Amino acid sequence: MSVFDQRDQQVQYQYNAAGDINIGAVQNQTELVGELEKLKAEVVKAKDSQALDEDTAIDVDYQLTKAITQARKPEPDGAAVVGYLSEAKTLIEGIVAVAGISEGLAKAMEILPHLLQH
């Protein structure tokens, strides 16, 4: 008997985040904002492909918008940005189809303290 038997399972659609998101290579605040904007665009794509339901996508988009707005400020509040990203990540936690977005959010939270020293 197989531990993970996939017989009779049907997958309607699998969404994978775009490969052009590279938060790990971010060197400054401007690049961070650009990568966060890419993640935000991926949320829209995930909603359009029905990998994310509309309500969740709206909530995640809102948190990312708040994070981007804060990150663009001359002296951004890094803790606030991390808070918004954490909330966005929590909203999609466990949704396998958008794991790439979740991983991008986690990486952004990891590097943020080094980029935003405020």
- Domain residue ranges in the chain: 23-115
Q: Read off the amino acid at residue 84.
A: Y
Cα–Cα distance for residue pair 39/33, rounded to 1 Å: 10
* CB neighbour list of residue 51: distance below 8 Å, 6 or more residues apart: 13, 14, 15, 95, 97, 98
Residue 18 pLDDT: 52
Highest-confidence range of 8-12, 44-48, 111-115, by mean pLDDT? 44-48
* Residue of 20 and 54 predicted with greater confidence: 54
Q: Give the model confidence (pLDDT) of 65-102 as tens digits.
A: 999 999 999 999 999 999 999 999 999 998 988 998 99
Read off the DSSP letter of residue 8. Answer: T
Is residue 64 within 8 A of residue 39, CB to CB? The reply is yes
* Total Cβ atoms within 10 A of residue 24: 11
Please compute the mean of the pLDDT values over residues 34-63 and round it to a whole number. Answer: 94
pTM of the model: 0.79
